[in-house]
Amino acid sequence: MKKDYYEILGVSKDATDIEIKKAYRKLAGIYHPDKNKAPDSHDKFKEINEAYSVLSDKQKRANYDRFGSADFTDMGGNPNAGYTYDFNMGDIGDIFSDFFSSSGFGFDRSTQKKRDLSGDDIELNLSVELEDVIFSVEKEIAFYTMVKCSKCAGTGSSTKETERCSVCSGTGRVKKVTQSFLGNIAVDVECSHCKGSGNIIKNKCYTCSGTGRIKQLKKMKIKIPAGVEDGTVLKFRNEGGAGLQGGENGDLFIHLKVNPSSIYKRNGNNLEYTTHINISTAVLGGVVSISTPYGLVNLKIPSGTQSGDKFKIRGKGIPAFHGRGVGDLFVTVKVNIPKRIDRSKKRLFEELKNLGD
pLDDT confidence of residue 146? 93
pLDDT band at 1 (very low <50, low <70, confident <90, very high): low
Phi and psi dihedrals of 193, rounded to 5? -70, -40
Residue 214's SS3 state is strand
71-100: average pLDDT: 42
Note the pLDDT tens digit of each residue in 140-167.
999 999 999 999 999 899 988 888 888 8
pLDDT confidence of residue 104? 40
pLDDT confidence of residue 309? 96
The chain-wide mean pLDDT, for the chain, equals 82
pLDDT confidence of residue 70? 56
Report yes or no on whether pTM surpasses 0.85. Answer: no
Distance CA 345, CA 343 (A): 6
Q: What is the DSSP string of 82-141?
A: T------HHHHHHHHHHHHGGGTB-S-GGG--PPP-PPPPEEEEEEEEHHHHHS-EEEEE
H helix intervals, the chain:
5-9, 17-31, 41-55, 58-67, 89-100, 130-134, 279-284, 343-356
Asked if residue 130 lies in contact with residue 230, where contact means CB atoms within 8 angstroms, the answer is no
Task: Answer with the residue of higher pLDDT: 138 or 195.
Answer: 138
Question: Has domain 5-107 been given CATH number 3.10.100.10?
Answer: no
pLDDT of 109 > 50? The answer is no
Q: Which of 65-69, 140-144, 194-198, 232-236 has the lowest mean pLDDT?
A: 65-69
pLDDT of 74 > 50? The answer is no
pLDDT confidence of residue 293? 94
pLDDT confidence of residue 92? 47
Question: Has domain 265-356 been given CATH number 3.40.50.2000?
Answer: no
pLDDT confidence of residue 99? 45
Q: Which of 66-80, 229-243, 307-321 has the lowest mean pLDDT?
A: 66-80
pLDDT of 63 > 70? The answer is yes
31-56: average pLDDT: 82
Task: Answer with the residue of higher pLDDT: 159 or 84.
Answer: 159
pLDDT confidence of residue 349? 76
Pick the most confident of 21-30, 114-123, 145-154: 145-154
Fold for domain 117-154+209-260?
A: HSP40/DNAj peptide-binding domain (2.60.260)
Task: Answer with the residue of higher pLDDT: 77 or 121.
Answer: 121
Task: Answer with the residue of higher pLDDT: 183 or 171.
Answer: 171
Asked if residue 330 lies in contact with residue 311, where contact means CB atoms within 8 angstroms, the answer is yes
Instruction: Delimit the CATH 1.10.287.110 region(s) of the chain.
Output: 5-107
pLDDT confidence of residue 224? 92
Note the pLDDT tens digit of each residue in 297-317.
999 999 999 999 999 999 999
pLDDT confidence of residue 103? 40
Note the pLDDT tens digit of each residue in 245-288.
888 899 999 999 999 999 999 999 999 999 999 998 999 999 99
Instruction: Delimit the CATH 2.60.260.20 region(s) of the chain.
Output: 117-154+209-260, 265-356
Asked if residue 249 lies in contact with residue 236, where contact means CB atoms within 8 angstroms, the answer is no
- The percent of residues in the chain predicted with pLDDT above 90, rounded, is 40
Residue 353 vs residues 68, 91, 118, 304: alpha-carbon distances, Å: 104, 93, 81, 16
Which value, in Å, is the radius of gyration of the alpha carbons in the chain? 37
Note the pLDDT tens digit of each residue in 311-339.
999 999 999 987 789 999 999 999 998 88
